[in-house]
Amino acid sequence: MAFDVDTLREDFPILRRTVASGAPLVYLDSGATTQKPLQVLDAERDFYLTRNAAVHRGAHQLAGEATEAYEGARHTVARFIGAADDEVVFTKNTTEAVNLVAYALGHAGRVGPGDRIVVTEMEHHANLVPWQQLAARTGATLDWFGLTDEGRLDLSRAAELLDERTKVLALTHQSNVLGTLNPVRELADRAHAAGALVVVDGAQSVPHRPVDVGELGADFLAFSGHKMLGPNGIGVLWGRAELLAGLPPFLTGGSMIEIVEMDRTTFLPPPQRFEAGVPMTAQAVGLAAAVEYLERLGMAQVAAYEDTLTARALDLLAEVPGVRIVGPRGLTDRGSAVSFTVDGVHPHDVGQVLDERGVAVRVGHHCARPLARRFGVPATTRASFYVYNTPEEVDALVAGVRAAQRYFGV
């Protein structure tokens, strides 16, 4: 392991707090949102203290410095995923990024009546509902890859699903519930061979492993700053330059126009075309600080360290009678979100016992209702790990699950 977790935790003061019962906080909900290190908070504060102004406007020095900070953040994010600067569009979050693509593809006429949009049964609602809406608006049909009992994509219908009728394949890189890492490259190549565009939800992959858009093979990639040590309210849409150039705007107004007359307007090229209004400048600067923090750790090391925590959780939970992992058991194609059920104890009760012991997990359907239905469970308990978690915290999770079983007499 290339970084020292005890030292790293000093950057996250919130991890030193306790909960109402007096137990120390064990934060295992990074799949929902991550904590933010001092370096990110300082970067945002420093922006407001020294360079705050509306970007891309104003003839004064401060506006110039704010613009430099904002465009510098874009450059840092682009470098992180191996993209060109003008291929990085700042959005509010993953949800907005996916909506932007779905809306723009519809308006560009790239999806029409009789066409097919393909998703998967493991999608977060953010990468499902916008495609349902696009299908409804355009008269296209929505179809999807089902799942195997182990929580992997069932690729047996790939040839049928990815044929010349298919215009879009939208899939998650890494499931927020199952942890499954999907074979995006393979599917993207097949989708492209059929003439479809590929939209990847990277909300749970970009924060946790090296992702290079050149290697990924997709056309669009969406992710959220708040899931990768960055601020809330900033997300990213990466799109291939030539595709972005051919898409109409999602939101219109200031900052994205070239010439406006009373009855017509021309738009700036990407990325400005997709960033109407004064953008989230301090948040972009904070996201760049988060990216630099992750780069210092090294994304390969981040992934390797998370693997040790995930392996420990999978091994120890497997030893608890009545605990069932929902998702792949091995590490080869999964990440650090570990969902499980406990026979005889409702997930909300598991969550409550854990909460009393300071262990913060998420319970519910995790914004992926069809997935829960596929596995015949109303809800699961999900622990999700990140760079600041320790092996002892994994042990606290498992001890808490055993305590829940004792409490409920199972």
Residues of this chain that interact with ligand PMP (CB under 6 A) are 32, 93-95, 124, 126-127, 172, 176, 201, 203-204, 224, 367
Closer CB to ligand PMP, residue 66 or residue 126?
126
377 DSSP assignment: -
Q: For the CB of residue 337, give the shortest distance to ligand PMP in the complex, in Å.
A: 8
Burial of 63 (0-12, 13-18, 19+ CB in 10 A): middle
Which neighbouring-strand residues pair with 223? 236
Q: For the CB of residue 201, give the shortest distance to ligand PMP in the complex, in Å.
A: 5
d(CA 356, CA 354): 5
**Cβ neighbours around 260 below 10 Å, total:** 12
Q: For the CB of residue 202, give the shortest distance to ligand PMP in the complex, in Å.
A: 8
Closer CB to ligand PMP, residue 81 or residue 203?
203
123 DSSP assignment: -
**Cβ neighbours around 380 below 10 Å, total:** 28
Q: For the CB of residue 1, give the shortest distance to ligand PMP in the complex, in Å.
A: 26
Of the residues 285, 367, 379, 404, only one is catalytic, namely: 367
d(CA 314, CA 116): 38
d(CA 270, CA 273): 5
Closer CB to ligand PMP, residue 171 or residue 323?
171
Q: For the CB of residue 402, give the shortest distance to ligand PMP in the complex, in Å.
A: 28
Are the CB atoms for 283 and 233 separated by under 8 Å? yes
Q: For the CB of residue 29, give the shortest distance to ligand PMP in the complex, in Å.
A: 10
Containing 169, the helix (H) or strand (E) segment is: strand 166-172
Containing 187, the helix (H) or strand (E) segment is: helix 184-193
Closer CB to ligand PMP, residue 97 or residue 404?
97
- List strands edge to edge, sheet with 380-384: 323-325, 337-342, 380-384, 362-364
CB proximity list for 11: less than 8 A, separation 6 or greater: 37, 38, 39, 293
> 26, 61, 65, 136: which is closest to 397 by C-alpha?
26
CB proximity list for 266: less than 8 A, separation 6 or greater: 257, 258, 259
Closer CB to ligand PMP, residue 55 or residue 98?
98
CB proximity list for 98: less than 8 A, separation 6 or greater: 126, 127, 130, 170, 199, 201, 222
d(CA 402, CA 410): 9
Q: For the CB of residue 376, give the shortest distance to ligand PMP in the complex, in Å.
A: 21
Is 1 one of the annotated active-site residues of the chain? no
Two structure tokens written together for 213: 């858009």
d(CA 192, CA 187): 8
CB proximity list for 141: less than 8 A, separation 6 or greater: 114, 115, 116, 117, 135
Q: For the CB of residue 176, give the shortest distance to ligand PMP in the complex, in Å.
A: 3
Task: Answer left, alpha or beta for residue 202, where phi above 0 means left and psi between -120 and 50 means alpha.
Answer: alpha
- Could you give the residue numbers annotated as active site? 367
